[in-house]
Structure 1
Amino acid sequence: MDVFPARALRPAVLVCSAALVCGCSTFGSPGGTADAARTAADAAAVPGPVNDLESAYQRVIKDVLPSVVQIQADEDLGSGVVYDDKGHIVTNAHVVGQATTFQVTTADDEQPLTASLVRSYPEQDLAVIRLDKAPKGLRAAVFGDSATVQVGHIVLAMGSPLGLSSSVTQGIVSATGRTVSEGQTDGGTGATIGDMVQTSAAINPGNSGGALVNLAGRVIGIPTLAAADPGLGGAMAPGIGFAIPASTVRKIADQIVRTGKVTDSGRASLGITGRTVVDDAYRATGVALVEVQSGGAASRAGLRAGDVVTGLGTADITSVTTLSEALAAKRPGDRATVTFTRDGVGGTAEVTLGEQ
């Protein structure tokens, strides 16, 4: 299964036409009475639990959708979430790309606002931009506690799929704790992101950077990736999308807002630069250490340039991607056994992981 950023490649202009049928009836006429009676009957026919669920959806949409914006960066479109009343907006790094200025459209006003980049952090595919002038009444979203997210929770995905601003889709939390590697094609950053929330809510190009929201009106994640099925020529796999968890979003965004940079990533690191090694059949077989940072985790464990890492803990390491995924599942300070070969001879080293 492949994943790709859910950002629109280009703004889409969609023209919808509809036939409007206008009818008039005198107040109190038999037709008007019959219509009112049918409306009352239809409402009575809807079970109470359905009405309750619909009301919950509508309440959440009313509360949160004004905090979800559309972002235009150069020629690309994505989504964002208002982070505070000072005009900070959190989104994906692949949405902002290389741009430093943006046009932002809120749910309440079609007139675009200008914004500037505060910081992009591609390693976690997150970025913060700031409105040059925050409008009065700007409403910040409330971010939830990732620890409370459970499989089966009903969620709503809000954003601008294909440029259709203020769109909402519905699904459930399908899984938690997913580690997903984002490709560098289609504008991706190549990041490997841990603890992602998997959802069945439809995530399409343009949803990236928007909000995945629970029925308590809390943002539990930032929709970032949608799955593609290689067996179908890379076509999207419906109902498989991924969101960066709220805890990670808050950790990174808080640092960017406060200091303009990220100094505490929470990401484990070996302190190496590596490349994928392939055998005679062009199969990936490990990661060769091209550079070992002095004083880093690998250096302290006795690893050196030229070693080929083939395992980290219980994970088999065959490529730079699998090494990134194994590290994404760990935390700085964790201890792990690294399996490697040196000059054709196998060995192991106990490593205390550093921070990226």
Structure 2
Amino acid sequence: MTDAAEDTATGESGGAVASGDDHAAADQGAGGDGDRDRRHDAGRVRHTAFSPETVAVFGRPAGVHGSFAQTSESTDRPAPEVSAPDPVLAEAFGRPSGETETLQRDPLAAYGEPGGAPSPPDPWRDPESVAAMSGPALARPTIAEPTESGPKLGIQDVLFGKRVSWHALATLAVLAVLVGVFGGLIGRWTAEVVSPLNSDSVQLSTGEQTNGDAKSPVAGVARAVEKSVVALDVRTSSSVGTGSGFVIDKGGYIVTNNHVIAMAANDRNAKLEAVFFDRKRVPARIVGRDTKTDLAVVKVDNVDNLTVSKLGNSDDLQIGQEVIAFGSPLGLDRTVTSGIVSALHRPVPLRPDAESDTDAVIDAIQTDAAINPGNSGGPLVDDEAQVVGINTAGLVPGGGSIGLGFAIPINQVVPIAQTLIRNGTVNHPQIGVNASSVRNDRVLGAQVRNVVAGGPADRAGVREDDVITSFDGRTIESADELTVAVRTAKIDGKVGFTYWRDGRTFSGTIMPASD
């Protein structure tokens, strides 16, 4: 091995280790210590010699005996020169004056030094300060220190203690006398000159007593009709209903709507009472009712001095004519509302529900007089206090009247009421067809869906899909209008009508039969 290889193979950390011969020479030179070293060296493990290839890769370079190579003191490169730092940087990052050891100031170096709150910025002396509002340049007033109050003066001190001068006492006495005199004069003047607030002689006068004349036309009609109007209460074990009616005969007959007394008719245990204008309650019995016209008649017994309604002529009504509605809307009996006739011959369907079996189409008088639930059955009267219709229905989508009320004309009520009083039931005309409304670019009317074999329509030559456009001189634009026109016709009377078929219009006559 080369010298370098030998050094690497026998070396330990930090430098080369001597060979075995060297150890022996050392032992001999050391005398007695040599034996101890030999015994110690005998326990050492001898390393295997490294191959030349390994020494060539991992050994020290030639001429290097330590861990670091020797550097030459001379160099060809010039040494850098450090210039003086920039003054701004030196001020920002240099050591504070007097500090030479570190850039950080000892936090305990300020211990014991007097401290205080930093002075507020002064915009007048510091151009870098932020603009801010300041108080006026006025001298602050010096606040005097509070003084302790002295002892309170008593009457003895004031009068005899010479604490207050006699001149001041005399002035106070004069002022007290003046105040007393002035107060007495004011009191006397108030008592003698100003009138008292309370008096027993005041009599409140009222206006001139009238002779009972009505203040307005509506008030006069209300006074004339109110005694003939009744409220009808229906009570069952599970529900309560309220409607209206009016007396049509001194025998105690009262006309109303069928849907008002339907619960009483369908429940034997129901209680039906008529309540008159003086709050007198009387049991009522059902004389007869008609579900196809929504009319009914009830009767009360043993009631004296009944006021009978004066019936008018609904055929003479004009659109815009003033009318007054009577009834008990929402249970508020003896209620009066006024309006006008908004339209005539308005077909209004009335369908069955949970409380009524009415299935009718009425030929209604339309009015803007307020009609709400409970007005049903009450009279609709003109400005002469004559009944021209029976309040029957109202469109109340929001729960109250919106000016769309409907009444059955009195000329249609009278024959039905007389028949119910006479027979208890009513027969109606019919033509033996079912129809539905049709509206298209070719025709407008009531289209026949089926025809009863052998019925009036079949005998008149009406076929399915024919469209009836007029009946008894009345224009038909819907199935409801056809129903109204047929039910207002006479049984076994010839009625003219027109119908449309396959683009052509035909005329004919038909004889309604009883249902």
Q: TM-score, normalised by structure 1?
A: 0.71
Q: Does 1:301 align with 2:460?
A: yes
Aligned to 2:469: 312
Question: Which structure is higher in RCO with an 8 Å CA cutoff and minimum separation 6?
Answer: 1
- Tell me which amino acid in the other structure corresponds to 1:104: A
Q: Does 1:333 align with 2:333?
A: no
Post-superposition shift, 1:125?
A: 1.1
CA contact (8 A) 2:258 2:289 kept: yes
Give a deviation string over 1:122-146, Cα, whole Å, max 9, x none.
Answer: 2111111111x23111121111112
Structure 2 runs not aligned, ≥5 long: 1-197, 266-270, 439-444
Post-superposition shift, 1:237?
A: 5.5
- Tell me which amino acid in the other structure corresponds to 1:142: K
CA contact (8 A) 1:83 1:89 kept: yes
* Aligned mates of 1:161, 1:26 — CA distance in 2: 48
Aligned to 2:362: 193
1:86-105 equivalence runs, <5 A: 86-100=251-265, 102-105=272-275
Q: Does 1:171 align with 2:171?
A: no
Q: 1:242 aligns with which of 388, 401, 406?
A: 406
Aligned to 1:18: none
CA contact (8 A) 2:381 2:389 kept: yes
Aligned to 1:48: none
* Aligned mates of 1:167, 1:28 — CA distance in 2: 42
Aligned to 1:213: 381
CA contact (8 A) 2:446 2:476 kept: no
* Aligned mates of 2:321, 2:199 — CA distance in 1: 48
- Tell me which amino acid in the other structure corresponds to 1:68: V
Change (3 A) 1:315 1:188: same
CA contact (8 A) 1:336 1:353 kept: no
Post-superposition shift, 1:27?
A: 7.7
Name the SS of the counterpart of 2:341 in structure 1.
Answer: strand
- Cα root mean square deviation, aligned: 3.4
CA contact (8 A) 2:291 2:357 kept: no
Q: Does 1:350 align with 2:508?
A: yes
Name the SS of the counterpart of 1:184 in structure 2.
Answer: coil
Q: Does 1:29 align with 2:194?
A: no
Change (3 A) 1:153 1:321: closer
CA contact (8 A) 2:496 2:507 kept: no
- Tell me which amino acid in the other structure corresponds to 1:148: D
1:147-166 equivalence runs, <5 A: 147-166=315-334
Post-superposition shift, 1:351?
A: 3.8
* Aligned mates of 1:148, 1:67 — CA distance in 2: 23
1:58-207 equivalence runs, <5 A: 58-73=219-234, 74=236, 75-100=240-265, 102-110=272-280, 112-131=281-300, 133-185=301-353, 187=356, 189-194=358-363, 196-207=364-375
* Aligned mates of 1:203, 1:277 — CA distance in 2: 28
* Aligned mates of 1:354, 1:292 — CA distance in 2: 13
More off after superposition, 167-176 vs 198-207: 167-176
CA contact (8 A) 1:180 1:193 kept: yes
Give a deviation string over 1:141-182, Cα, whole Å, max 9, x none.
Answer: 111112222223222111110011111111122222322222
* Aligned mates of 2:446, 2:321 — CA distance in 1: 39
Change (3 A) 1:327 1:26: farther
CA contact (8 A) 1:192 1:328 kept: no
* Aligned mates of 2:199, 2:423 — CA distance in 1: 65
Post-superposition shift, 1:349?
A: 6.7
Change (3 A) 1:202 1:28: farther
- Tell me which amino acid in the other structure corresponds to 2:299: R
CA contact (8 A) 1:85 1:134 kept: no
Change (3 A) 1:333 1:169: same
CA contact (8 A) 1:182 1:188 kept: no
1:221-232 equivalence runs, <5 A: 221-228=389-396
Change (3 A) 1:316 1:277: closer
Give a deviation string over 1:267-298, Cα, whole Å, max 9, x none.
Answer: 5x3223x26599xxxxx994421x5153x321
Name the SS of the counterpart of 1:124 in structure 2.
Answer: coil
Aligned to 1:14: none
Aligned to 2:49: none
Name the SS of the counterpart of 1:60 in structure 2.
Answer: helix
1:257-276 equivalence runs, <5 A: 257-263=421-427, 265=428, 269-272=430-433, 274=434, 276=436
* Aligned mates of 1:322, 1:56 — CA distance in 2: 35
CA contact (8 A) 1:69 1:80 kept: yes
- Tell me which amino acid in the other structure corresponds to 1:79: S
Higher percent of residues as strand: 1
Post-superposition shift, 1:247?
A: 0.9
Q: TM-score, normalised by structure 2?
A: 0.51
Post-superposition shift, 1:81?
A: 0.8
CA contact (8 A) 1:179 1:329 kept: no
* Aligned mates of 2:398, 2:461 — CA distance in 1: 42
Change (3 A) 1:184 1:287: farther
Name the SS of the counterpart of 2:499 in structure 1.
Answer: strand
Q: 1:292 aligns with which of 448, 452, 470?
A: 452
* Aligned mates of 1:161, 1:153 — CA distance in 2: 23
* Aligned mates of 1:277, 1:242 — CA distance in 2: 22
Name the SS of the counterpart of 2:392 in structure 1.
Answer: strand
